[in-house]
């Protein structure tokens, strides 16, 4: 397995562990740091999916935030 494929799979496992494969529970209230981490991990996943190119970080974050918050 290539190093980039292994990293991608590791990233995917981190994302799934943080947000759950079906994103069943979105934290509220005092769980703001957890929510921010879920958004950060999803934004990173989006960045990786589009080829890790720079210049679209704000769109990745906003899309991730919309997805996580529902």
Share of the chain above pLDDT 70, in %: 63
Q: Choose between 13 and 68: higher pLDDT.
A: 68
Q: Choose between 70 and 13: higher pLDDT.
A: 70
0.75 exceeded by the pTM? Answer: no
* Euclidean distance between CA atoms 6 and 10, whole angstroms: 6
Number of domains the chain contains:
1
Residue 44 has pLDDT above 80, yes or no: yes
Q: For 26, left (φ over 0), alpha (ψ -120 to 50), or beta?
A: beta
Domain that holds residue 41: 3-20+28-69
pLDDT for the residue 37: 93
pLDDT for the residue 16: 65
């Amino acid at each position: 397995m290539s190093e980039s494929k292994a990293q991608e799979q590791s990233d995917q496992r981190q994302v799934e562990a943080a947000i759950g494969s079906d994103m069943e529970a979105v934290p509220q209230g005092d769980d703001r740091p957890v929510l921010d981490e879920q958004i950060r991990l999803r934004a990173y996943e989006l960045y990786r999916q589009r080829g890790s190119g720079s210049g679209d970080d704000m769109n990745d974050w906003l899309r991730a935030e919309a997805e996580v918050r529902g």
